[in-house]
Structure 1
Amino acid sequence: MNHPNFGLVLLPQLPQLPQLPQLPQLPQLPGFAAVALPGIWCGRVGNKLIEHLHPDLMPIAKGRKFIILFDYEIKQKTRWQIFRATQRTGKCIQDAGGKCEVALLPGKEKGIDDWVVSLGKKARRSVDRLVNDSVTLSEYRQQFFIPARGLKKYKPDVRVNTPLLSDAVRLPTSGVVCLLSDMSTGKTYLMEKWRKEYPNARFLNNGHRIALLRNLSKRLTTQMYSNLMAGNLGIAKALSVTADSLWKLAGHLEAYDCIFIDEAAQYVTHLLQAKTLKEHRHEILEVLKYVVRNTKLLVLADAHLTDEVIDFFMAMRPSGEKPYIVQNDWLSGGRKVHWYEGGNPSAVVASAEALLSQGKKVMIVSNSKKFIKKMEKDLIDLFPDKQHLLRALHGDNSGSPENAVFIENINSEVKDLYALLASPTLGTGVDILIGFAATNQPPPTDEEVQAILEDRLAERHLS
């Protein structure tokens, strides 16, 4: 126990005696040194102002990695207590010279013992994965405070269930309209119809990604800001401009008849957090406040609109105005999506390798440009003969003429690809409407993926 290379898992108190007869039925698990705390607060002593790690843990803390693994909980009040105890215990571990991460049970089983029993033979691999996917204290804090999607404060004025929004909704000429509708349900097409109905209206299309803006600019018949001189931005009757360049309108402010903001939730996040806006964020927000307040019609579109996003824009509008919310319950769906978490991409590479070996096509998306670049290299190494049939799109190359043409004609271009890798640069404004599968063969089984992982592990040992 004194060797710092052995990690330590902090658990809530051990199961009560009536549960002990279950233990002989458990599969043998890989060894994890575990310490059961009498309660979630008992890993530290002291008070909120002055506290430190429990004296029994102090001798083994320095240089050791601790993983806090508390019970799964759904009650918000209890979750808040667990969160506070985890943060403060983790801080005490770090102050004592140790490292701290947090492992999160998936539920619905409450404790690690219940979860292991429910998994049966899969327990060994699942516990390994649970521990390997542990997050840092800062990542745990961020995950805890991510707001739930959907509307609670606001209620929809119109609720429909249609694959094409324009069949059921017509945009007005004034007010704040919120379109809460899934991807590929015609939110942009609805805006296209409005533009054709009012072609002479002063129109501003504002977004956070250049790929999205290019796509919308063509469909909504606007001028792209990048094709105009700075002095002409304000006089353009129909303009598409990124949030990053909104400050350039400061000297040419005029009221618009309509402002359209697609992917509004992502737009607000980008507006408030993106480093690319750091230099001009104040001017950008001032320009946005002016144009939003003075436009006749503001249209916010997103599949995941939240109360906070609507509040953000309503704070800029005249007092007393209420948003008009259209909620479309139609879900496009139709594709099987595999979700991977954690910092180890081996399982993703193995799944992609198995699918490509079957002759299937693969699309991999990630919120990391670095990950997409690495995946591109890994797949080229695995399939050098298919290098020309693989395309990776990320922030470093999405603006190239070749990739701009590819994105504009993506539904025809992807037909010849075996693998498409994309970072958030392709996250909005692009719809791939054709099926992205080459055969009717089933996806790789867990056993096939595991076999590839084991082969790769053996190769590493041999090398």
Structure 2
Amino acid sequence: MVTSLRIAPSGAAKSIGGNLASDHEQEWLMSGVDPEIIHRNVRTLEDTEVDPFTREANYPIAELLNWKVTRFGNQARESVRGWWVSGVDPLNHWQRMEWGRFKPDTPVVDRQKNKPAKYLSPSLGKGSSRLILLDIPMRIWMKVAERFEIAINGATNFWEWVWRNNLPIVLTEGEKKAGCLLSLGYPAIALPGIFSGYRRETRQLIAELGHFATDQRSFHICFDYETKPRTLQNIFLATTRLGQLLTHAGCQVKVIALPGAEKGVDDFVVARGADAFTKLYESATQLEFWQASQLWSLTYSPSLTLNQPYLGDLPYPESGLACIKSAKGTGKTTALQGLIKECDRKILVITHRIQLGKAICQSIGIDWITDALNSENPDSYGLCIDSLHPNSKARFNPAEWEGAIVILDEVEQVLWHALNSATCYYQRVRILETLRELIETVLETGGLVIAQDADLSDVSIDYLRGLAETPVTPWVVVNEWKPEIAWDVSLYDTKNPAPLIDRMESVLQTGAIFVCLDSQKVRGRWSSKNLETYLKLQFSDKRILRIDSETVSDPDHAAYHIAEKINDVVGDYDIVLATPTIGTGVSIDIRNHFKGVFGIFQGVTPDSESRQALARVREPIPRYVWAAHFGPGKIGNGSCNYRDVAQSVKKSVQYNIALLKDIDFDLDEQSNPIALRTWAKMAARVNASLWRYRREFRNGLLLEGHSVTLVTDDLTKMFGQLPITEQTIDNLKSGVLTVSGFEFLEARHDLKVCDRIAQVISAIRTRNQTAEAIAVSDSPEITPEEYYELKEQANQTIQKRYSKRKHELKQKYNVETITPEIKLKDDDGWHTQLRLYYYLTRNPEYVRLHDMQELEDHLERGDGKISIQDVKLLTAQVEALRSLKIPEFLKPGERILATDDLVQFVATTALECRDDMKALFNFTVTEKLAPIAIVQTLLGKIGVKLTCTGRAVAPDGRRGGLRIYKYFPPEDDRNSILAEWEKQDLSMLQTLMEVTGCNDFSEIDEWIERSA
């Protein structure tokens, strides 16, 4: 923000003067600009004007543009004519600005850029461009005042009034567009170009814009609708940089995205009307969410553009990188069949889900890896990307795939799985390195890599191109066809899914239902297991099939290997509950069986994946959906800006490495920047979805062309601020009154019934959690050898799963007996908290020992390299908590008040180090947080809290003073667990001392230095 500018006094700008030709006026009128705005700011210019009295010639265009008159010469420029626009100057008492813009009737060659210029600015040297603040009449001023409900109160200059009252401002490229928006009553500033709001060299706002960049002002950036890849990239870059500079100045920045096909906002307003723009303005996206949404875009120029319901046979290239973007259900897999049959080459299919992969392999006539291993000639097969490394059962060797065809189906999800999934954790570096070697080998030996996805984006293509040793130009197919059959979707805008389950019960009376869920385990309140229990209790006569990761791999369950036969099986059931296990690519094509598709999505998976789940059933029957407002599983630091996500994880590792000292480790050399950048971009997309999950879900459904009815009891959403009477509510309940696009919740649902459903589900969850914890505790013991054998088995009964879980808990907590309580606590993340508590309250050398071993394990698994997003070291967190004096709160019985010096120290320090708090603890510290709330949050990181025991006596002797807090040690199994951990760490530490002959870590540091 520019703070050194003087406050300009009020005053009216001098009229622009001169004449305005009718054709130029008409051009502005065609852009929806008020006539009086036009006459106040625009005039017609010709290259030569002759004074009628003195007969002297002057050259207004040359003078205004700072050209040398000799540039005109005797060439065809004698007929140069056009219009000139200039506004008021915020840096010169709001007087008429001498700088302006000229649009010649015929483009003139810009000598600096050596190409025709549609618009020309004064040639005043680099960094001289300014902006245009159009002068407006009182009539328009009053329209702005009415829109934003701000009184004019005797002000004499519109733009000074806008500045003083901190009104929202729209930034757009071009004066006619700004004039159009001003005519509608929106303060709009015209930038001469998308990059003209800041100086590229210094990365600072231009002075005029800096003058308006006052704290808490709202800016809406509204640039043109574009389809050209290069222009789209420039718009993204310009919007991002301008938005970030405004944000750093304390402003709130949103982006208005024009939907097309109209190019400019003036074209949009003229074509669709003022109300259409108002909707765009009110639904503008916050900058960081807009940035994340752009990461879904595909800007590569298509080699082939289609618009058809089925891809059919595609003219795939013989070699190179082929990228296919086509909607769900358009036959992307079927299109491969002809290619596979005709070629005499090895085929490799890579997916992220086993069931999906098997279905694809069956479709194109090759084996899945488990079958291929038993084949005499396993030349072609499919595998999950988890197995794409030399140590897997596949013993994968990239060198064996020279000249092959590699198919990455659902490539966006395949890459995200490789970069982020827990199942790839231990082999991630090897998987990514093997993928790099595979892509490089195939492309260098005349092979073909096919990457296809309904949501294909630049992110995936950029990553695959980055893996190649030599530059590769992708062959891109874009099928623009969208399903013409829309769903009728009832989207429940309620605090929980209980009303949806009530609707589920009513639809069940008419026939079978298919239910999509993103949660499986019993600790998830609305999970597949808990919902199955509830529905069995409610409908004992109904046949229920649960499809999740456990049932599809359990030989004793009806869902075992169901993806291969799903259309033959689901018709036998009244209720089918399905988690993301069946995954993308699985199509349920049976007709006239299901009467409704239901979805309960808590934000565990991105909204795009959840919408794909709703599309598994191809029949266009009604959809009933509940989606959480916010998703819980944000990635990294939760930011929607990929640079912030990447920097956060990198900073955390750097902090820890610095504290470990003398570690021979180079973060830049021993990590993969391309993988980190791609992971961060995909993480930012996920975060953007999860921050506004329900809203993004609804927007996605609308963009897909579906009819969405919002089921809600929020009358404000239905009627805005209009007064609501009791009669109106009664009419809504009875159905006499309806509102387009909405359904009143109580018109169909009894709220008491919904509350009872929620209570029953909660009771079921508690019962199921307890029963499972007891079952795990009572399950048979297994040896380490049996555990590793079981871990490699794809098929497991529920009893084997319980034994495996018990063994993992024993290793995790280093105890002989696993009680049900330990299992329940572990489900709630107790281990992470307990481990941090342990290292904070024990010998400081233990955490360094842990982190050194952890880093060594990562390097060993990755052959000297790491995957930064997986490295979770603890030294920096422990040292930060020590610096904040958190251990001083762990004194039982001591009285603590919010005004205590210790509490104030923690709050002040955390606020000063807010960036570090975010990087280390993913904790956003703001001035609005109460000091005691900051303390409680940090204590929560180690699984403890302060308890309020009463209130202190107020200074005047009355009750109701400050709250009194005390620390009470938790009553759980931690002491015995911590004792075992300490025994293990002490033994390791003693062994290390004996080997090195040192007495403590400081001596070990010296020993390492001498050894080096």
Taking structure 2 as the reference length, what is the TM-score of the superposition? Answer: 0.31
Q: 2:359 aligned to 215, 221, 244, which one?
A: 215
Deviation, 1:345, is 2.2
Within 5 Å, give how 1:14-413 maps onto structure 2. Answer: 108=279, 146-148=292-294, 150-167=296-313, 169-198=314-343, 200-227=344-371, 229=373, 236-247=378-389, 248=392, 249-250=395-396, 253-256=399-402, 257-295=404-442, 296-332=447-483, 334=485, 335-339=487-491, 344-357=496-509, 359-369=510-520, 370=524, 371-386=527-542, 388=543, 390-401=544-555, 402-413=558-569
Deviation, 1:235, is 7.1
Judged with a 3 Å threshold, the aligned counterparts in structure 2 of structure 1 residues 252 and 176 are, in CA distance, closer, same or farther, namely: closer
Offset from partner CA, 1:90-141 (integer Å, 9 cap, x none): xxxxxxxxxxxxxxxxx948779xxxxxxxxxxxxxxxxxxxxxxxxxxx99
Judged with a 3 Å threshold, the aligned counterparts in structure 2 of structure 1 residues 150 and 399 are, in CA distance, closer, same or farther, namely: same
Structure 1: how far apart are the matches of 2:747 and 2:248?
Answer: 34
Where relative contact order (Cα < 8 A, 6+ residues apart) is larger, the structure is: 1
Q: In the alignment, is the contact (CA less than 8 A) between 1:208 and 1:267 conserved in 2?
A: yes
Q: In the alignment, is the contact (CA less than 8 A) between 1:263 and 1:428 conserved in 2?
A: yes
Judged with a 3 Å threshold, the aligned counterparts in structure 2 of structure 1 residues 109 and 310 are, in CA distance, closer, same or farther, namely: closer
Structure 1: how far apart are the matches of 2:535 and 2:251?
Answer: 39
Structure 2: how far apart are the matches of 1:264 and 1:244?
Answer: 14
- The answer to which of 295-304 and 407-416 deviates more is 407-416
Offset from partner CA, 1:16-41 (integer Å, 9 cap, x none): 996899xxxxxxxxxxxxxxxx999x
1:452 and 2:749 aligned? yes
Offset from partner CA, 1:190-224 (integer Å, 9 cap, x none): 111111112x4111111100111111121222222
Deviation, 1:355, is 1.9
Q: In the alignment, is the contact (CA less than 8 A) between 2:372 and 2:381 conserved in 1?
A: no
How many pairs align? Answer: 352
Aligned counterpart, 1:118: none
Give the letter aligned to residue 464 of structure 2.
F
Give the letter aligned to residue 349 of structure 1.
I
Q: In the alignment, is the contact (CA less than 8 A) between 2:517 and 2:528 conserved in 1?
A: yes
Aligned counterpart, 2:589: 433
- The answer to which of 436-445 and 401-410 deviates more is 436-445
Q: Secondary structure at the match of 2:588?
A: coil
Q: In the alignment, is the contact (CA less than 8 A) between 1:159 and 1:326 conserved in 2?
A: yes
Judged with a 3 Å threshold, the aligned counterparts in structure 2 of structure 1 residues 155 and 443 are, in CA distance, closer, same or farther, namely: closer
Q: Secondary structure at the match of 2:551?
A: coil
Give the letter aligned to residue 204 of structure 1.
L
Structure 1: how far apart are the matches of 2:468 and 2:621?
Answer: 54
Structure 1: how far apart are the matches of 2:564 and 2:459?
Answer: 32
Deviation, 1:391, is 2.0
Give the letter aligned to residue 332 of structure 1.
P
Judged with a 3 Å threshold, the aligned counterparts in structure 2 of structure 1 residues 245 and 143 are, in CA distance, closer, same or farther, namely: farther
Offset from partner CA, 1:371-406 (integer Å, 9 cap, x none): 3333323333332221x1x22212222223432453
Gaps spanning 5+ residues in structure 2: where? 1-143, 150-165, 169-216, 223-238, 253-277, 597-619, 625-710, 712-742, 761-1012
- The answer to which of 423-432 and 70-79 deviates more is 70-79
Give the letter aligned to residue 304 of structure 1.
D
Q: Secondary structure at the match of 1:368?
A: coil
Give the letter aligned to residue 335 of structure 2.
L
Deviation, 1:360, is 4.0
- The answer to which of 321-330 and 74-83 deviates more is 74-83
Give the letter aligned to residue 377 of structure 1.
T
Structure 1: how far apart are the matches of 2:559 and 2:311?
Answer: 30
Q: Secondary structure at the match of 1:431?
A: coil
Q: In the alignment, is the contact (CA less than 8 A) between 1:264 and 1:302 conserved in 2?
A: yes
Q: Secondary structure at the match of 1:213?
A: helix
Q: In the alignment, is the contact (CA less than 8 A) between 2:347 and 2:381 conserved in 1?
A: yes
Q: In the alignment, is the contact (CA less than 8 A) between 2:325 and 2:456 conserved in 1?
A: yes
Structure 1: how far apart are the matches of 2:248 and 2:546?
Answer: 38
Judged with a 3 Å threshold, the aligned counterparts in structure 2 of structure 1 residues 441 and 184 are, in CA distance, closer, same or farther, namely: closer
Q: Secondary structure at the match of 1:254?
A: helix
Q: Secondary structure at the match of 1:385?
A: coil
Q: Secondary structure at the match of 2:535?
A: helix
Judged with a 3 Å threshold, the aligned counterparts in structure 2 of structure 1 residues 253 and 442 are, in CA distance, closer, same or farther, namely: closer
Structure 1: how far apart are the matches of 2:369 and 2:250?
Answer: 50
Q: Secondary structure at the match of 2:528?
A: helix
Judged with a 3 Å threshold, the aligned counterparts in structure 2 of structure 1 residues 253 and 377 are, in CA distance, closer, same or farther, namely: farther
Q: In the alignment, is the contact (CA less than 8 A) between 2:398 and 2:438 conserved in 1?
A: no
Aligned counterpart, 1:103: none
Q: Secondary structure at the match of 1:164?
A: coil
Deviation, 1:243, is 0.7
Deviation, 1:71, is 8.9
Give the letter aligned to residue 590 of structure 2.
I
Structure 2: how far apart are the matches of 1:458 and 1:151?
Answer: 42
Judged with a 3 Å threshold, the aligned counterparts in structure 2 of structure 1 residues 450 and 272 are, in CA distance, closer, same or farther, namely: farther
Structure 2: how far apart are the matches of 1:449 and 1:419?
Answer: 26
Q: 1:414 aligned to 558, 565, 570, which one?
A: 570
Structure 2: how far apart are the matches of 1:175 and 1:110?
Answer: 44
Q: Secondary structure at the match of 2:514?
A: strand
Q: In the alignment, is the contact (CA less than 8 A) between 1:264 and 1:300 conserved in 2?
A: yes
Structure 2: how far apart are the matches of 1:378 and 1:415?
Answer: 21
Judged with a 3 Å threshold, the aligned counterparts in structure 2 of structure 1 residues 411 and 111 are, in CA distance, closer, same or farther, namely: same
Judged with a 3 Å threshold, the aligned counterparts in structure 2 of structure 1 residues 385 and 216 are, in CA distance, closer, same or farther, namely: same
Say which one has the larger Rg. Answer: 2
